[in-house]
Amino acid sequence: FLAQGTLYPDVIESVSFSGGPSVTIKSHHNVGGLPARMKLKLIEPLRELFKDEVRALGRELGLPEVFVGRHPFPGPGLAIRVPGEVSHTPYGSMMLHNFLYRACGSNGLWRTESFIAQTVDEIRRRVGNARVICGLSGGVDSSVVAALLNRAIGDRLTSIFVDNGMLRQGEAETVRATFGRHFKTDLHVIDAGERFLSALAGVADPQEKRRIIGHVFIDVFRDEATRIPDARFLAQGTLYPDVIESGALADGPAATIKTHHNVGGLPAELGFELIEPLRDLFKDEVRQTGSELGLPDEIVWRHPFPGPGLAVRCLGAVSRPRLDVLRAADAIWIEEIRRAGLYDEIAQAFAVLLPIQSVGVMGDFRTYEDVIALRAVETDDFMTADWVRISGDLLARVSTRIINEVKGVNRVVYDISTKPPSTIEWE
């Protein structure tokens, strides 16, 4: 025999009794009999009782109040009914911690050093004696990938950095200096700015911009990669949030929020096998890995930069003059954040050039010029984020500098949106 605590409401909602209503409200795992393979007979002594009657019976039988008075809990398993992962949920981290460690009995055995050792071993076994090309952007993700590969295969790593003409101020020079100093890697820098800008001429739709940039990037990358002998693998810094936002999980429910050019595999004609050692990690775990690998803080704690570059921060059609305006405004914003000692406290900060113009007055003259939006967020995993409460004095200083120093801008606004419902990037 097998005895279980089926109640009358369970039976009603599951509609499993003779002569009952025809609509199933919800299925209960303990209603409907036992599978024949169990070879047991079912005993359900509470099947005709309601919850209050069961509590009264428990007290009559002398059960302690801790059992009789406790709130009901769904039978199929444990679950959290609030978005504990969202950064602005009160006590969200505590709820997740209690759920994982106290309810589910997790041991928390994942360690950065263990991940590095395992990943290095997997790369060595998979790659063998072949050469690996790493798509380098200068950001922390691709830098950590390069460091893992450097530890695994040494001088059989070649890094390719594509300058798409939509980088931050001084970006290409910084990448050359940083990687020449810390990696001593075989670094190929490709100046393809004109090629990208020509392909993007007149395109305003954000998804189309991402698609075009992805295609041109692959073409440029392939042209350079074919010149590298014995290269069989391509490594890139895809993270778990990239996979989720692209809707690329085979068993996941996520819709495509935005397209990531580094998610979805490689075109067959590219001829490389893909290596994505960070695909299961969040940004904070990537930073931990980078520190453990000995990367300098200037790389590990650098604010993220999107793969398509300033193209997705230059809303509307992209052109060289508009990029110059955005680049100059962004540099002022970051410079003032650093000067205020806030750079390391902010997860990501950047400027956005809006596709509108506004009326202003400069001296005795009317102006009709561009609008810059400033963005600064705090987050642990970049799946959720909250806007940073920047002081009014700092915002005023940044606004004054941008309007005075960047020709063509007469208005500056500050973005106070959380993720969700907004994304961190505007496109």
In this structure, the chain runs to a length of 427
Task: Provide the pLDDT confidence category of residue 79 given band limits of 50, 70 and 90.
Answer: low
The answer for residues whose C-beta is within 8 angstroms of residue 295's C-beta and 6 or more apart is 140, 143, 144, 147, 182
Supply the pLDDT for residue 275. Answer: 94
pLDDT (mean) for 328-347: 97
State pLDDT tens for residues 300-318.
988 988 889 999 999 999 9
Cα 16 → chain centroid: 45
From 93-102, 174-183, 249-258, 339-348, the region with the lowest mean pLDDT: 249-258
Q: Which residue has the higher pLDDT, 92 or 61?
A: 61
**Gap between the Cα atoms of 191 and 61, Å rounded:** 81
The answer for residues whose C-beta is within 8 angstroms of residue 180's C-beta and 6 or more apart is 187
For the whole prediction, is pTM greater than 0.75?
no
pLDDT (mean) for 378-405: 94
**CA trace torsion 373, 376, 379, 385 (10° rounding):** -30
